[in-house]
Structure 1
């Protein structure tokens, strides 16, 4: 039986399959079960068999003016999962789109004024991040992959900022002891991220006319610490 669960919120099957494989490799375990929230609603009782859950990215945006009933249900399920984690029910690592869900749930603002295009980005740990069991060993800085249109305008009440940079000040935060969030993508290798770009060529994460240039820059990047974060997450909550 798998001890970790990957929660999928990507509509694109190929991208979702690849993301699942990326998380499995980064977490350092052979088996990571998969729950696709686009196909079935969250059943909190199912989580009792796992020691941790990771939530992948999505082209959804919390700030979308118009949302389908499916997106609204997915966001509601992620809020329930986040609250369950805050209450100590399970360790959770929310990434990309889902940090916005958690931020809004905590009463924070999700804004569109600090986007980051598809690229390798340097982020710095905060003093609190320096002593955090997951982020601390990567201090004082790490290079990760980013690609987002929205982000938290500020650290929401009750959260502890763990990582930041000048472009997007809220890169990662923790709530309590069991809930971690990251605006960036910790799981992909350069090859993984370059391949993922093909699914989102015309969706606004980079200039489609510069696809080859951006993909080449991604492939040339040295990015390893994101996976190290996930490995420590899996080990810490073992």
Structure 2
């Protein structure tokens, strides 16, 4: 994770309920990353307000470098938002803002590609909060697309995934983000706090169903 106040949210809780212990580290405040994956079954890099392009930050360089370890050891990996962008950059793909300055903040439709039909039963209205998007790395498989940021989910190798949206966000997190970063809700494309919470009541049950299905597919049995 990327801030002292970061919360693994629903993803963390769902992983715990499947019998795993969480080893939570925040390199941005000095926590070291593992040098091997011998003691870990899987890895998640969550989102954050920084950019995958912040090469001046030691922890961004370290997180980018550890992607190579995950892929070489075939460790199941999930990159959420910034975590997906970090994997894209580690594999030579570009991470950048929308050319018209559009942000996705709120609920937006994510549509599966033919290759993504095994993970997405249907289009998913998922929670988003980002100003940058990723290109798809060479040899990666595009799994889902969107209207504003066309690349929403991809797979690398056997079990490394990057997703642009935020299935981990609980209602409490949604309210906290929309309050603490209220200044961003006037950006192009951003939805108001009221619209976000109203959309959450409508769409969140399908996001939870998607997350459970994904984790059952992704985590080692």
The TM-score normalised by the length of structure 2 is 0.82
Q: Distance in 2 between matches of 1:196 and 1:212?
A: 9
C-alpha displacement at 1:52, in angstroms?
1.2
Q: How does 1:22-33 map to 2 (within 5 A)?
A: 22-27=10-15, 29=17, 31-33=21-23
Report how many aligned residue pairs link the two structures.
212
C-alpha displacement at 1:233, in angstroms?
4.4
The answer on whether the counterparts of 2:144 and 2:154 sit within 8 Å (CA) in structure 1 is yes
- Structure 2 match to 1:139: 121
C-alpha displacement at 1:82, in angstroms?
1.6
Q: How does 1:15-164 map to 2 (within 5 A)?
A: 16=6, 19-27=7-15, 29=17, 31-38=21-28, 39-45=30-36, 47-63=37-53, 69=56, 72-113=57-98, 115-131=102-118, 135=119, 138-152=120-134, 154-164=135-145
Q: Any runs of at least 4 consecutive aligned residues in structure 1 with deviations exceeding 6 A, and if so which?
A: none
Whether 1:207 and 2:178 are equivalent positions in the alignment is no
C-alpha displacement at 1:161, in angstroms?
0.3
CA 1:108 to 1:235, structure 2 compared with 1: closer, same or farther past 3 Å?
same
The answer on whether the counterparts of 2:9 and 2:169 sit within 8 Å (CA) in structure 1 is no
CA 1:55 to 1:221, structure 2 compared with 1: closer, same or farther past 3 Å?
farther
C-alpha displacement at 1:212, in angstroms?
4.4
Give the 3-state SS of the residue equivalent to 1:231 in structure 2: helix
C-alpha displacement at 1:106, in angstroms?
1.4
The TM-score normalised by the length of structure 1 is 0.77
CA 1:83 to 1:228, structure 2 compared with 1: closer, same or farther past 3 Å?
farther
Q: Distance in 2 between matches of 1:112 and 1:177?
A: 29
The answer on whether the counterparts of 2:78 and 2:84 sit within 8 Å (CA) in structure 1 is no
Cα distance per residue 1:56-97 (max 9 Å; x no partner) = 110001245xx6x5xx22222222332122223411100111
Q: Distance in 2 between matches of 1:233 and 1:53?
A: 14
